[in-house]
Amino acid sequence: MMEPTLQGKRALVSGASKGIGLAIARRLAAAGARVALAARGAPPLEGMPGAIAIPADLRDADACAGAVARAVEAFGGLDIFVHSAGATQRGDFLALDDAAWADGYALKFMGAVRLLRAAWPHLKAARGNAVLIAGVGGRVASADFTIGGSVNAALMNFTKAMADRGVQDGVRVNCINPGSIRTDRLTGRIATMAKERGVDMQAAAGLIAAETGVSRFGEPEEIAEIVAFLAGPGAGYIQGAILDADGGWVRAV
């Protein structure tokens, strides 16, 4: 039986209809939190008592403000904010147009900025915390991941800046950089490599793992476990941390 270390806490998780975001919402709910799941898709709420779904395109500034307002209205405040929304387009830099860049920044970076700006007064009042999900691509540059890499690097810098503000306001802000995690997005990447290399899915998965030097891919639930720790009482002295959860991909100090 999981100890309800977040009993009574009120959380908003963006990008929570599937993958890492959904796993985070489920983990917070299992720890006793009431969770608002904000996403364009319809998140499954089974097994999450007191959870609510907030349909919203978080590329839009008004939608971000509205999502926070709905969560606060439903719960009477906000203790935890987790930004897990955002997928950026891969590909040859010369083939990526301005629309692809604008879309990548609109959801993952500007979504974080707008949601956290709206959530901040409530987090301050509750002496709560925020966790931003960036990505290891912000540390490891790749020619086919120019959008995602720069967005993730920007999120890491933003984390540090808001953690600095958080010292003053009593809000903890931290960041997680997932590596290759078993989500629909990774499955799509494996399929693309299989087609490009003329190999089956298993072989393509092995090639991706070999390129990053890891023994296996991570699971969404492993990222969710880290979020639950950062949001809980045991992480009270962790501020402005950027945690790589990548299976050992990043080897730099």
- Is pLDDT at 1 greater than 70 in this prediction? no
Query: Whole-number mean pLDDT of the chain?
Result: 94
Note the pLDDT tens digit of each residue in 112-139: 999 999 999 999 999 999 999 999 999 9
In a domain, 188, yes or no: no
Q: Is residue 54 part of a domain?
A: yes
Please state the φ and ψ torsions of residue 13, each to the nearest 5 degrees. Answer: -120, 125
| Residue 39 within a domain | yes
Give the total number of structural domains in the chain: 1
pLDDT at 4 over 90: no
pLDDT of 178 > 90? The answer is yes
Residues paired with 175 in a beta bridge: 132, 242
Supply the CATH number for residue 95's domain.
Answer: 3.40.50.720
pLDDT of residue 210: 84
Considering the entire predicted model, what is its pTM?
A: 0.93
Report strand pairing: 80-83 vs 10-14: parallel
Task: Flag whether 187 is in a domain.
Answer: no
Strands (E), 69-181: 80-83, 129-133, 172-178
- Per cent of the chain over pLDDT 90 is 84
Instruction: Give Cα separations from 36 to 10, 17, 50, 51, 252 (angstroms).
Output: 8, 11, 9, 6, 37
Asked whether residue 159 is domain-assigned, the answer is yes
Single out the residue of 125, 133, 114, 207 nearest to residue 169, CA to CA: 125
**CA 19 to CA 30: how far, in whole Å?**
17
Residue 252 within a domain: no
Per DSSP, the chain holds a count of helices (H) and strands (E) of 8, 7
pLDDT tens-digit series, residues 189-243: 889 889 889 999 988 888 888 888 898 899 999 999 999 999 999 999 999 999 9
The answer to whether residue 199 sits within a structural domain is: no
Q: Structure tokens of 120?
A: 């901040």
pLDDT in tens, 137-154: 999 999 999 999 999 999
Question: Which is more confidently placed, 210 or 102?
Answer: 102
Examine residue 153 and state whether it is found in any structural domain, yes or no. yes
Segments forming the whole domain that contains residue 172: 10-179+218-244
* Beta partners for residue 37, in sequence order: 13, 53
